[in-house]
Amino acid sequence: MENRNSSKVGRYEKLEKIGEGTYGTVFRGRDRDGSEVALKRIKLDDDEEGVPSSALREICLLRELRHKNVVRLLDVLHTDKKLTLVFEYCSVDLKIWLKKYHTSRTLLSFLNQTTAGKLHAPEVSALFYQLLKGLSYCHAKSVLHRDLKPQNLLIHEGVLKLADFGLARAVGLPVRQYSNEVVTLWYRPPDVLLGARVYTFTVDSWSAGCIFAEIANSGTPLFPGQDIEDQLRIIFRLIGTPNDNEWPTMRRLPDYRPFPRFPAETNWSEQVPTLSETGIDLLKKMLMPNPHSRLTADQALMHQYFTMLNGNSRTLL
């Protein structure tokens, strides 16, 4: 790693803490030029040798990714005691944004006696469109994110950005096995829940579909399972338990076990009442249990659901 830190000392001023996770603490900061930045500080344990592998992966991948819908890594500071990743500043994550939006809309509804409280269709499609554009770019660069969830999607000045690439992987040939201990439970696809260790970009597609429904429902998750068994039951109750014709290789997965035969939900409009028929069609195609039948990000972007978008509505105004 480059050791130019002596010239960088004092360049970034740490302001208030804005988040804390497993691998580090995030602060709002200010660059010497006056611009706002986000400082992700990772303490280096004396017992560990070098920099944590998750941080190294994130640095290596983000240095190669340049897209308006992917958070930008601006700088890296490395000392004996800590590692600081300097990112472009984003004011809020999607989870908090949805909560604040829903609260403000609900209050407006109460004061004006209107039927607010939910996102309008153009806002839902604009958010999801940006998520898919960032995802499509990452996949074109052979990068699997593997941890898409609202907390890892940032919003700033109407633009949504993919963030937190600590679990991301560069995909290449030959196809290799990966860990199945990835993706937060509520956004993890059935194939990974059943122990699949060989998977492709449609792992991210499933997570994106879950987030699509959550955006449409103003922050209410679609599959809030308690554990793996409960998660699979909630999923199959909605989309139906796959049969051998729908998913021929399901029985070969390492953790496969028979599940009750749940029929597919016929009334999706009750699950996502704000989505149009074309929106529900797109959602169902992103939540196919068989990963080979699931839409990719590129295919989803071509869906007729997005024909309503124009250039001005692809960011939140």
Active site residues: 147
Question: Tokens 């509804």 sit at which residue?
Answer: 109
The token pair that represents 270 in the structure block = 């009750």
- Known binder of ligand: residue 99? no
Tokens of 142: 């052979």
Q: What are the helix and strand counts (H, E) for the chain?
A: 9, 10
Query: What residues have CB less than 8 Å from 80, skipping those under 6 apart?
Result: 44
Main-chain dihedrals φ then ψ at residue 34, nearest 5 degrees: 100, -10
CA distance 280 to 128: 13
Max distance between CA atoms of the chain, in angstroms, equals: 64
Strand (E) or helix (H) holding 132: helix 121-140
Residue 106 CA to its chain's centroid (Å): 26
Binding region for ATP: 40
Binding region: 40
